[in-house]
Amino acid sequence: MAAQGLRKAGRLLGVSLEVRGGVVGLLGPNGAGKSTLLALLAGRLRPDGGEARLLGYPPRDPRALPLRAYLPQSPRLFPHLKAREVLEGARRAKGLGREALEEAAGRMGLEGLLHRPVGLLSGGQRQRLALAAALMGDPPIWLLDEPTAALDPRGRERFWAWVEAKREGVVLLALHHVEEARRADRLALLRGGQLVEEGPPELVLGPGDERVPWLMEVLYEEPA
Ligand X SMILES: Nc1ncnc2c1ncn2[C@@H]1O[C@H](COP(=O)(O)OP(=O)(O)OP(=O)(O)O)[C@@H](O)[C@H]1O
Q: Which residues contact 99 (CB under 8 A, 6 or more apart)?
A: none
**How many other C-beta atoms are found inside a 10 Å radius of the C-beta of residue 95?**
9
> Which residue number, 33 or 201, has a Cβ lying nearer to ligand X?
33
Q: How far is the CB of 163 from ligand X (least distance, A)?
A: 20
Cα–Cα distance, 107 to 148 (Å, whole number):
14
30 lines the binding site for ligand X (CB under 6 A): yes
Answer for the pair 188, 17: CB distance below 8 angstroms, yes or no: yes
Cα–Cα distance, 49 to 153 (Å, whole number):
39
Q: How far is the CB of 11 from ligand X (least distance, A)?
A: 3
Answer for the pair 170, 19: CB distance below 8 angstroms, yes or no: yes
> Which residue number, 11 or 177, has a Cβ lying nearer to ligand X?
11
Give the footprint of ligand X on residues 63-82 (CB under 6 A). Answer: 73
Give the footprint of ligand X on residues 106-125 (CB under 6 A). Answer: none
Q: How far is the CB of 44 from ligand X (least distance, A)?
A: 11
Do strands 68-71 and 141-145 pair parallel, antiparallel, or not at all (unpaired)?
parallel
Q: Count how many residues are written for the chain.
A: 224
32 lines the binding site for ligand X (CB under 6 A): yes
35 lines the binding site for ligand X (CB under 6 A): yes
191 lines the binding site for ligand X (CB under 6 A): no
Helices then strands, counting H and E runs in the chain, come out as 8, 9
Q: How far is the CB of 176 from ligand X (least distance, A)?
A: 7
Question: Residues 94, 62, 144, 122: is their CA dihedral positive or negative?
Answer: negative
Q: How far is the CB of 134 from ligand X (least distance, A)?
A: 17
Q: How far is the CB of 173 from ligand X (least distance, A)?
A: 12
Which range binds ligand X by CB under 6 A, 27-35, 149-157, 180-188, 196-204? 27-35
36 lines the binding site for ligand X (CB under 6 A): yes
Cα–Cα distance, 27 to 9 (Å, whole number):
20
**Using CB under 6 A as the criterion, which residues of the chain lie in contact with ligand X when the complex forms?**
10-11, 28, 30-36, 73
